Chain A
């Protein structure tokens, strides 16, 4: 069990030798693990203090001047700087954002620190690549890959430790969904902390004689349209599962594709237009309907709709 933020911190320290890299922090590097880079390359590590908008506006200037900027803080405080993010997006700047404590994983801090809106918001910004790694292996891959991706990247990380799903040979490919389990009855499209829950739901479904395809859709933007259409055609029903509001996240992204290509029934597992609250992370996942059982239930509903 290791968190995606920790894998990011370690990977960043490893790839950090490139002199053009500058890492920006807002007084939270011990939590985001960007501190690992800071220990190794103190000259190219800048703690802005608690000043997120200042940080992102400065990132614009650094990127204009040829620097490759990595910025890391809690996801919710990235959103504080939306005005500056728009400029980064508009000018297609080399700013890579690693947004930690996303979703409900900052459990006890409560709604003020949880982020269940970020994917919707970041998806509206042209040029941004929006990625949600599912485990530590993928998080390390995304961190390395982000150096090769030109333009802005938003990668969403978790505070909580989570199980390792992929083996060390796994390669992240931008814009490509990955079939983690192959089936024929329906497709579960998910990412991040919901992937291991979807795999568990799939085990439950298999016991009932239902075989689902489980897809890790780690790139939310640009989304893998080809795969979504293929899944709709072959499975005929889809469940999306996300640690995010059902408004604007992966469920919306999938539906946008299906609406104009090959409409099939879709069931949405996600947070139904509500704020989070303080609590232990697992309790919150249950309370907000984000468990393997919820995915199982949604799958049954999707199947029923498919038959009609």
Chain B
């Protein structure tokens, strides 16, 4: 178990990511708030507790890697990289505008520790396999974390990659599914069902852990458990809420790619800060 201080530290990070996501997408009047917010606690736990990395050295060869396969959650990634000191906070304001390094979807940039070019769904797990395989060949001890959407799992390449990792004994790759139940046009289960999800991953040879993707201690436990499993790769199914933290956006299909107006954001911000303060006090 983690200490209360650590929990508070991580909650603070997660809150900051939420605010950044909302501000970046509203300022750009474009982007994907819903899926960025469902990922915020996963990204928080990875960057600020689980992953081994060194902010002074984005090119450290032994750093753990996060591949944001669901590239449209870029605001969450950029915010975390800014919090961790890889990206100058000022750059967040340029999100989605010409000349910015912070493209609408991640563009590989070793200096900013943006590990892979994504945005076209379905490629991240295989990219991660490549990095994990290279790590094995080079005798390096880093781990590769790949964050996917649940709708993304409808892509065939995901399952080609899912077959590859256990066969090649890649115990250094961790797949994370952001199981928020929604994709672009509606629920996954009324679009093309991906269930039974645990059984699918298990039958492909993965160690599977189900967690509440907004419960920070539970997420940490799952990642720690994944580190202890040596004979297979681990898939973490993180049950999340699309739009998490914004009442008017939770479970709302349109919040996938429709940011809040400047005015509505201004109106809800004081409430978000107040709620955050109360939550922190209660810890």
Contacts and interface: CB of A to CB of B under 8 A. Distances in A.
Interface stretch (B127-135, B184-192, B233-241): B184-192
Contacts of A284: 98
Given A50-B154, A76-B120, A287-B98, A277 B192 contact: no
A6 B120 CA distance: 24
A41 interface: no
Interface string A28-58: 1111000100000000000111110110000
Nearest to A287: B98
A49 B188 contact: yes
B108 to A, nearest CB: 11
Contacts of A35: 185
Interface in B107-129: 107, 117-122
A279 to B, nearest CB: 4
B28 interface: yes
A80 interface: yes
B104 A113 contact: yes
Nearest to B123: A80
B55 interface: no
B119 A278 contact: no
B30 interface: yes
Interface stretch (A104-112, A231-239, A260-268, A299-307): A104-112
B155 A50 contact: yes
A283 interface: yes
Given A110-B96, A112-B118, A112-B119, A28 B184 contact: yes
Interface residues of B, number: 30
Nearest to B95: A278
A110 B192 contact: no
B185 A278 contact: no
Contacts of A80: 120
B183 interface: yes
Nearest to B190: A47
Contacts of B122: 50
Contacts of B105: 109-110, 112-113
A110 B151 contact: no
Interface in A248-296: 277-280, 283-284, 287
Interface string A71-94: 000001100100000000000000
Contact of A29 (B154, B185, B192): B185
A76 B152 CA distance: 16
B96 A108 contact: yes
A51 B154 contact: yes
A31 to B, nearest CB: 8
Contacts of B154: 27, 48-51, 54
Contact of B151 (A27, A54, A279): A27
Contacts of A25: 185
B100 interface: yes
Given A48-B192, A112-B119, A277 B103 contact: yes
Given A30-B184, A30-B185, A110-B104, 9 more contacts: A25-B185, A27-B151, A27-B184, A47-B185, A49-B191, A108-B28, A112-B71, A112-B117, A277-B99
20 contacts: A27-B183, A27-B184, A28-B185, A30-B185, A47-B185, A47-B192, A48-B154, A49-B188, A50-B121, A50-B151, A50-B154, A50-B155, A51-B155, A51-B156, A108-B97, A110-B105, A112-B104, A278-B96, A278-B103, A279-B97
Interface of A: 25, 27-31, 35, 47-51, 53-54, 76-77, 80, 108-113, 277-280, 283-284, 287
